[in-house]
Amino acid sequence: MTPDPPANGAVVTEHAWRAARFMVIVAHPDDADFGPAATASKWIDRGSVGRLVCCTSGDQGGEDAALDPLELAATREAEQRRAAAVVGYDDVRFLHQPDGALANELPLRELLVREIREFRPDAVLTHDPEVLFYRGAGVNHADHRAAGIAAVDAVYPAARNPMAFPNLARAGFAAHPVRRLYLFWPGQPTAWVEVGATVDRKIEALRCHASQFTVDAAFEQRMRDWAAEDGVAIGGPAAEAFRLIVIDDDDQAQLPE
């Protein structure tokens, strides 16, 4: 079911499965838009319902020590809500964890399990927590790794285990099995979603994060180049790459294109 990574330029088939309901879990505002925004846009256009969960509000995302972190958090939440509207998520949830100090601990896991059990996604898209160094491009932020492993641990086994966090079950958040994980910015991709039609939406979503960066022509070109590089694996013009983890085999859940 899972294609092997291409070796020596070999081309694999584009990944065509689509989750009817999916949740994107990220560390910071803007991660989802640099990450799987084009895939999310494509799936939503085809009828999926997507929801975004940001563990932090990016209150350390500035260069000025005099900046008020609460003000910055409010700005970044507003930017992320605008970007989420561009992609088409049904809602954005902020868990208000501390930026720069995110940790995969039980309180964060419980917050994520609550979100998962409420929304009941078929797939969760999150940071690949095993990536410490990007290929040729620096260090993967500790918050990204923490959000990724917290999301994985929330998905399996906690969200599906009725005996995990029994207080949640008593509050009406019944156990829910997430069937698949899609890990973005992967060290070893195994699935490529063709996104030629929605790269523009990804760039429009990124444009919303004006407190963080300016989307000029060079930035836009860099985003298109990344998508084109990932597209090579499937012989298409543009793609987003994932490491796919199938927890429950789910051929019956295949949706028509």
Q: Which is nearer to Zn ion, 93 or 160 (CB)?
A: 93
> Measured between alpha carbons, how far is 250 from 7 in angstroms, rounded to an integer?
27
What letter represents residue 110's amino acid?
E
Q: Which is nearer to Zn ion, 37 or 234 (CB)?
A: 37
Q: What angle do CA 191, 197, 199 make, to 5 degrees?
A: 75
Rg over alpha carbons for the chain, rounded to the nearest Å, is 18
DSSP state of 139: B
Q: Which is nearer to Zn ion, 76 or 201 (CB)?
A: 76
CB atoms within 10 A of CB 217: 7
Taking the complex as a whole, the smallest distance from the CB of residue 180 to Zn ion amounts, in Å, to 23
Stretch that binds Zn ion, among 20-28, 38-46, 73-81, 246-254 (CB under 5 A): 20-28
Taking the complex as a whole, the smallest distance from the CB of residue 144 to Zn ion amounts, in Å, to 6
Which distant-in-sequence residues (6+ apart) come within 8 Å of 216 by Cβ?
Answer: none
* Helix, strand or coil, per DSSP, at residue 34: helix
Taking the complex as a whole, the smallest distance from the CB of residue 5 to Zn ion amounts, in Å, to 25
Q: Which is nearer to Zn ion, 140 or 198 (CB)?
A: 140
Taking the complex as a whole, the smallest distance from the CB of residue 31 to Zn ion amounts, in Å, to 4
Taking the complex as a whole, the smallest distance from the CB of residue 221 to Zn ion amounts, in Å, to 21
Taking the complex as a whole, the smallest distance from the CB of residue 76 to Zn ion amounts, in Å, to 11
**Peptide bond preceding 157: is omega within 30 degrees of 0, i.e. cis?**
yes
DSSP state of 142: H
Q: Which two tokens stand for residue 105?
A: 């601990």
Q: Which is nearer to Zn ion, 146 or 245 (CB)?
A: 146
Out of 3, 19, 29, 31, the residue judged to bind Zn ion by CB under 5 A: 31
Residue 201 binding Zn ion, by CB under 5 A: no
Q: 127-142: b or e for each residue (b if 16 or more CB lie within 10 Å)?
A: bbbebeeeeeeeebbe
Site for Zn ion in 40-79 (CB under 5 A): none
Out of 15, 18, 28, 93, the residue judged to bind Zn ion by CB under 5 A: 28
Q: Which is nearer to Zn ion, 53 or 234 (CB)?
A: 53
Residues that bind Zn ion (CB under 5 A): 27-28, 31
